[in-house]
Copies of this chain bind each other. A is one copy, B any other.
Amino acid sequence: MTEDKKISKATIRRLPLYYRELQKIESAGLLEVSSIYLSEKLGIKPEQIRKDLITFGSFGIKGLGFEVSELKNKIANILGLQNNFRLAIIGVGNLGAALANYEKISELGFVVAALFDIDKNKIGKEINGVRIYDFAKFIPISRRKLIDIGVIAVPNSEAQKVADILAEAEVRGIWNFTTEKLNVPYFVTVVNEDLSIGLNTLSFYMNQNS
């Protein structure tokens, strides 16, 4: 799928929005959807939507709309959602717990398969039906639970240590909520999350409007 490598980061960020809207439209029993409709629902310009969706093939004809399930499945395929990647969340503080409860993760086909912490008061408990395990046992449990992605929600000072253990367990993806720049082997893909970016975007626009 080398062609997909050309998709811009901005487009990748919009694909889940399309996917989720298409899920709703499909559940409502509709078979076709126009870029105008998607535009109204998502607040994205119709030209942008057509441009995004045309990137990966000319399904959808201008004026006739897109075939809902075909488009939905194509996006799922591009985003890798059909893999049903299995997540482990490491660090069950407020952030880890919020992620364990975050509905969109499962709506998109990801499976939160295990939680890990080092706090003995948390180990053995459950959040949203998922058990908290001792992080000291990460490697065997991760293999048993077929973990694909480790979500690092620990303090910065622990982040690299956690990443080393995830790599040792051959976890292929890391979703990093710390500000540490992680060193990982070639087979591990890292995406750094920064919750403050949205806030900066907001203050940028507020600053423009003042």
Of the 9-residue stretches A97-105, A138-146, A161-169, which lies at the interface with chain B? A97-105
A198 B181 Cβ-Cβ under 8 A: no
How near does chain B come to A168, taking the closest CB pair, in angstroms? 18
Nearest residue (CB) in B for A99 is B195
A172 interfacial by beta-carbon distance below 8 Å = yes
A28 interfacial by beta-carbon distance below 8 Å = no
Contacts beyond the supplied A13-B200, A95-B98: 16 A-B pairs with Cβ under 8 Å: A12-B200, A15-B200, A16-B196, A43-B181, A78-B207, A79-B200, A80-B207, A93-B98, A94-B97, A102-B196, A104-B194, A105-B199, A172-B206, A189-B202, A189-B209, A191-B205
Given known A41-B181, A80-B206, contact A175–B194 (CB-CB < 8 A) = no
- Collect the chain B residues with CB atoms within 8 Å of residue A175's CB: 198-199, 202
- Collect the chain B residues with CB atoms within 8 Å of residue A97's CB: 94
How near does chain B come to A146, taking the closest CB pair, in angstroms? 14
0/1 interface trace, chain A 136-174, chain B, CB 8 Å (1 if under): 000000000000110000000000000000000000111
For the complex, give the distance between the alpha carbons of A56 and B9 in Å: 22
- Interface residue tally on A, bucketed by range: 35 or more
Of listed A80, A99, A200, A205, residue having the most chain B CB within 10 A: A200
0/1 interface trace, chain A 76-112, chain B, CB 8 Å (1 if under): 0011110101000000011101110110110010100
A55 interfacial by beta-carbon distance below 8 Å = no
How near does chain B come to A50, taking the closest CB pair, in angstroms? 18
- Collect the chain B residues with CB atoms within 8 Å of residue A98's CB: 93-95, 98
- Collect the chain B residues with CB atoms within 8 Å of residue A104's CB: 179, 194-196
A64 interfacial by beta-carbon distance below 8 Å = no
How near does chain B come to A68, taking the closest CB pair, in angstroms? 19
Nearest residue (CB) in B for A40 is B181
B80 A204 Cβ-Cβ under 8 A: yes
A126 interfacial by beta-carbon distance below 8 Å = no
0/1 interface trace, chain A 1-25, chain B, CB 8 Å (1 if under): 1001101011011011100100000
